[in-house]
Amino acid sequence: MIVKGARVLDGSANAMMKGKGTEDDRPWQSYHTVYTTAKAGMELVDKEKVQRVVYEMSKGSKYFQNEERKEAFIKQKIDNLRIQCANLTQEDLAHYQKVADRRIVELEASRDLSRIWLHVDMDAFYAAVETLSNPTLKGKPMAVGSMSMLSTANYEARKFGVRAAMPGFIARKLCPELIFVPTDFKKYTYYSDLTRKVFGRYDPNFIAGSLDEAYLDITEVCRERNVKSEEIAQELRAGVYEETGLTCSAGVAPNRLLAKVCSDINKPNGQYVLPNDRMAVMTFVSSLPIRKIGGIGKVTEHILKGVFGINTCEQMLEKSSYICAFFSQSTADFFCSVGLGLGQTDSPQVRFRKSISSERTFSATKDEVLLHKKLEELAEMLSADMQKEGLSGRTLTLKLKTASFEVRTRAVTLQKYISSSEDILKHAKKLLQAELPISVRLIGLRVSQFNGDKCSAKSDPTQKTITNFITSGDVNRNCSSFPDVADHDFVSNAETDMSIDSRQTGQLDWRDPFDGANI
């Protein structure tokens, strides 16, 4: 994705470095792209080349126009917040600093170093599965997806700047030898099930983040076997390879938030262990870029940097007075927790699933027969996931992304709980019918408000989420004129990054506070 954000982040309209030309000469220089260096295997990517190709091949498209609208909105948001910051008096800041200091002390008191969490992440999962099925692909740049959009790319392709969520035609421009392989989710699900058999040996109650990642509490297995966490991580990775022929990476830390960060450090086929020691944790997060934290997306990163000058997790604490002044208590607590290196450590048995969702991205179409077919596939997937978990839900949400990248959501809260594909499809069709005729490039379905769900009573009423927009009433519609600013509502970040074709079976830790409808 491209966001014209250099001036927003730096607050500078200066020309490029001497000898490099001006922004007029090199317009791509003023665009911030997430297509570089964010993935393992992309450290040596020629960032400017990727920026230039993305800019030149996107210019004038509906996607490009939508990105410009979003950038204008984000810039306005940042400008408004800067004005509000400037209007804070010393008395205001002193007051909010006291609030922040009190909350930081309370959060520090909640630090739990008694648990050992392991996050396991399969390496380029879809691409690795396809290579396993077709060994002739080994060593060749390859991506799973189509000319419209990629789900993932192998490490050979990433060296050229090719990555998940990138349109295939741009990827082909970056890497002319790129091989495209169509997605096969039955195959990926099969291999995912094999990996989960291994995970279950170490933690029967592991949390599956998506098809290719999971969180395991390995505290008890370490204690019972009197072994170190790094040994368990190595043994688990060897077990996954023996069972599937695929490699994975692991991160070990005192909580899930940090374990996920650690699993990305030595990718592919590596591991990193962060000791259960407060000083080690504080040192680790002191220089950690905020974007490395799950729950801080592109938009939030821009706002934190552009308004408050926050680039690292440690700076969350340094600017805590501003954070408490401008954010709700729950969001401020999250940001301060990030600065302290705190994350969730509770066992899965006491956690309550909030939602199960699935979505499909495809070439934009008005074909109602095709749209209903996609809807039927999603209903079957959701029903299978729900019945596997023994869940029934009352609220069904339909998500649509139009050909012009506008995101729409409709929801219905039913009188009875449902779980069958027939019931899900029946109500989903009604929600879709209300939007027809329409040209769509993505359809998503989500079921929430499960039987026995006790989460809602604990939520912070001051914290706005997409739920506020889509579940207040029998049938509601939310249509954002600045859609998809940080669109993770139905998205699993693990493999697709931008919801090429994702399945999400729960909410882990925190969400981006500027996510989707929150803006």
CA 295/CA 420 separation, integer angstroms: 31
CA triple 4-492-305, angle to 5 deg: 35
Q: Residue 278 class from Cβ within 10 Å (0-12 exposed, 13-18 middle, 19+ buried)?
A: middle
435 is catalytic: no
Question: Which residues are within 8 A (CB) of 417 and not within 5 positions of it... i.e. 6 or more apart?
Answer: 392, 393, 394, 450, 451
Sort strands 179-181 and 142-145 into parallel, antiparallel or unpaired: parallel
Other beta carbons within 10 Å of 176: 8
CB 299 within 8 A of CB 519: yes
CA 504/CA 27 separation, integer angstroms: 37
**Per DSSP, what are the bridge partners of residue 311?**
none
Q: Which of 130, 213, 301, 314 is catalytic?
A: 213
Cα–Cα distances in angstroms (integers) from residue 111 to residues 252, 319, 331, in the given order? 17, 21, 18
DSSP character for 471? S
Question: Which residues are within 8 A (CB) of 224 and not within 5 positions of it... i.e. 6 or more apart?
Answer: none
DSSP character for 60? T
> What's CA 266's distance to the chain center, in Å?
20
3-state secondary structure of 118: strand
Closest listed residue to residue 131, CA positions, set 78, 188, 205: 188
3-state secondary structure of 389: helix
Which residues does the annotation mark as catalytic? 213
